[in-house]
Amino acid sequence: MHFLPRLLIVSLGLVPLAEAAPKKKKSGPKLSEGAAADKLHPLWRMENVYPDQDVQLKVSGLAFGGDDIYVTVFTPDRLNKAPFKKGEVYKVTGVIGNSDRSKIKAHRLMGDLYEPTGIAVHKGKIYIGEKDKISRLEDKNGDGVYSADEKVVLMDGLSHVNFHTYTVGFEKLAKDGKTYLVGNLTTSIRPGGARDFNVTVNPKTHRGSTFMFGPVTGEEKPSEVDISYYAGGYRTPNGIAVGPNDEIIVTDNQGVFNPSNEFIRLTPGGFYGHFLLKKDNTNIAAFQPEDVDDVKGGSKYQSPPTVHLPQGEVSRSPSQPVVLKDLKGPMSVYNGQWLVGDVTLGRLNRIFLEEVDGTWQGAAFLHSGGHDPEGKTGLTAGPNRLKHGPDGNIYLGHIGEGGLWQFLPAPGEDPKPPYGLQRLSHLAPQEIPADFNEMVAVRDRVGGLEIELFKPITQAQLDAAQIEAKQWTYVPTNGYGGRNMGTEKLTLVKKTLSEDGKRIMLTLPGIRDNSAPFVSKGGYTSENVGWVVHLTVDQLDLYKNAAWYTMVKHQGGGAKAPIKKQLDPKTEPIAYAKSQHKAVCAACHSTDGSRLVGPSFKGLFGKKQQVIRDGETSTITVNDAYLRRAIANPMLEHPVGFPPAMPNPNLSKEEQKAVIKWIKTLK
């Protein structure tokens, strides 16, 4: 997305992938993994609590102060033009215990902020994270609003001017009896997604990193606070949360060095693989190895991610996580799991975590989605910020803008609103549908995996169920994105039902983990990436039929058999090109003629097209030479009517030839 997480190819340099059409079967209950099946989860209810006023709250930061919601609001400067300093802060009142939108009011507190994406309320004081600074607001005259002289800058110089740099947060963390603000610093990129130099303004700054700022007291002076770093190595970390045990969670977006979106339970001092470019006047990520070639990088130097969120299938622009807690009765099985927003897919995903031999890993599940203008059966816009309210419910603040920074409409569908505020609450035990069932968790087990269900099934139901599994890994490179690598089908040898009927043990030989052999490509490998095991369960009445488990450490050890040969663009050009399109190109280029951020591949070859190069417009014929230029150097020229936003996938000449050969077939 490219919102902070994929907010946008241009905006954050992310690129969403188009959803595959749902697969159909002749018989048996099945819900597609695709967008067509997205709807509100049956165990939860949604309400639209957006103020009934003529105001657009594009929520970039959200915090509670008592019963009031405080939000930062801004429209991103996506093209690296003059600094955009029209950000605002609002207080929203009348939300808690109320569903009447006419009683919910938005009060403007301050304007002229520089792209604020972090906010916290501590001891009655408001803390703001702008692109370049962290400040505390002081209502010195007590009038309830804030003027420029009522902003105390606590730390400045966090960023030079770049459309992709944000100060994301804040979460509060207690340490040694003091309170710190925890947040993320995103990185500089060029329009199109390539890395850019992170020019140093304040030498204490390390972009692409999780920071701790403070201690904060509500009265601190700039000389009394400092910034330190917890982990680093991200590209677009738009999501941050602190869990019940003070664990810190970060979500990052697909891009350079990121073949998939990632949900990361941080290890202190961890480096998660996104290398920042070094020169004398730049800074690099916290804990980035100084002795490694920053241009090339390499996953062997990184800490493994916790859960992969495969691009387009599960996520496209992951945003803020929120932990599920204090659930009672049958719902208590979800306590400790996480919901994660996704802006461009307009979706919530659920994450289950477990610790295996000291390594955290887990599974991703589809949770809620779909668009509903009324905000009852789906989302009104793209969920960017998720927070627990004092009433125990979860509040969702939405954001949107043009290009890829929005809840993307389907072909022919009207654009979604760029703003919104909704409340998510769970059903009472007596309201739970009697026929509801789903996969609650997938766990690693010696010899396979175990599925936990919400309610028991019978042996006859399990016998009728069709369970399939496949696995793949990724190879992070300094090109944009990446496709599934080493894909293998796993053979289900046995499925065994527990006595209580709630757990299915799957005997699945051949599961791999983060151990050799690794997949190699162009001098890069899959070391420290882990494998995604994709499970589908059909012919069993479940809310969703799919789970994606990230295997970093397999009990009993990962399979050691040689990995089959990868798709060869020279001998299998069409299959390779389709795989590349699904993983990276489908975000912007359709194959059915529909318009996305870039031209459709259908009918593209041989077409007359106007392009802009060095500010001059000319008409060209889309031929082999043009397509080679467009793939190898996408920012050299761009089609008229489309943004200059294509990232460089860094394909070899043979890979380029394969993609071109395939495009020629799309008449």
pLDDT at residue 1 in the model: 38
CB 365, CB 38: distance < 8 Å: no
| Residue 535: closest CA among 457, 453, 624 | 453
Read off the tokens for 496: 């065994």
Query: In the structure, what pLDDT confidence band is assigned to residue 586 with cuts at 50, 70 and 90?
Result: confident
Average pLDDT over residues 242-265: 97
Query: In the structure, what pLDDT confidence band is assigned to residue 229 with cuts at 50, 70 and 90?
Result: very high
Q: Which of 36-45, 136-145, 273-282, 487-496 has the lowest mean pLDDT?
A: 36-45
- For the purposes of burial, counting CB atoms within 10 Å of the CB of 616, is it exposed (0-12), middle (13-18) or buried (19 or more)? exposed
CB 29, CB 539: distance < 8 Å: yes
- For the purposes of burial, counting CB atoms within 10 Å of the CB of 36, is it exposed (0-12), middle (13-18) or buried (19 or more)? middle
pLDDT at residue 507 in the model: 98
CA end-to-end span of the chain: 29
Q: Which of 25-34, 68-77, 84-93, 288-297 has the lowest mean pLDDT?
A: 25-34
% of the chain beyond a pLDDT of 70: 93
Q: Which of 271-275, 482-486, 521-525, 638-642 has the lowest mean pLDDT?
A: 638-642
The CATH architecture assigned to 439-551 reads: Sandwich (2.60)
Read off the tokens for 210: 């999780």
Average pLDDT over residues 259-286: 97
* Interacting residues of 120 by C-beta distance below 8 A, sequence separation 6+: 63, 126, 127, 169, 170, 171, 172, 181
Domain with CATH 2.60.40 in the chain: 439-551
Highest-pLDDT range among 77-91, 457-471, 610-624: 457-471
pLDDT at residue 419 in the model: 96
Return the HEC string of 562-626. CCCCCCCCCCCHHHHHHHHHHHCHHHCCCCCCCCCCCCCCCCCCCCEEEEEECCEEEEEECCHHH
606/622 Cα distance (integer angstroms): 5
Domain with CATH 2.120.10.30 in the chain: 2-431
Q: Which of 39-48, 212-221, 506-515, 602-611 has the lowest mean pLDDT?
A: 602-611
**pLDDT above 70 (res 19):** no
Phi, psi of 148 (to 5 degrees): -60, -35
292/395 Cα distance (integer angstroms): 42
**pLDDT above 50 (res 27):** no
Higher pLDDT: 464 or 78? It is 464
Higher pLDDT: 3 or 110? It is 110
**pLDDT above 60 (res 279):** yes
pLDDT at residue 24 in the model: 37
667/7 Cα distance (integer angstroms): 31
- Tell me the Ramachandran region of residue 502: left when phi exceeds 0, alpha when psi lies from -120 to 50, beta otherwise: alpha
Q: How far is CA 265 from CA 230, 234, 306, 349, 445, in A?
A: 12, 13, 6, 16, 21
**Could you read off the pLDDT of 427-439 as tens digits, one per residue?**
999 999 999 999 9
Q: Given the structure tokens 């979706």, which residue do they identify?
A: 347
**pLDDT above 70 (res 3):** no
pLDDT at residue 564 in the model: 84
pLDDT at residue 82 in the model: 66
CATH fold of 573-665, please? Cytochrome Bc1 Complex; Chain D, domain 2 (1.10.760)
**pLDDT above 50 (res 50):** yes
Average pLDDT over residues 598-624: 88
pLDDT at residue 614 in the model: 82
| Residue 608: closest CA among 600, 620, 598 | 620
Q: How far is CA 17 from CA 14, 277, 313, in A?
A: 10, 27, 8
32/176 Cα distance (integer angstroms): 48
Tally DSSP H helices, then E strands, for the chain.
4, 39
The rounded mean pLDDT for the chain is: 91
| Residue 129: closest CA among 113, 118, 115 | 118
CATH code matching the domain that covers 2-431, chosen among 3.30.70.60, 1.10.240.10, 2.120.10.30, 3.40.50.2300 = 2.120.10.30
pLDDT at residue 247 in the model: 98
Query: In the structure, what pLDDT confidence band is assigned to residue 80 with cuts at 50, 70 and 90?
Result: low
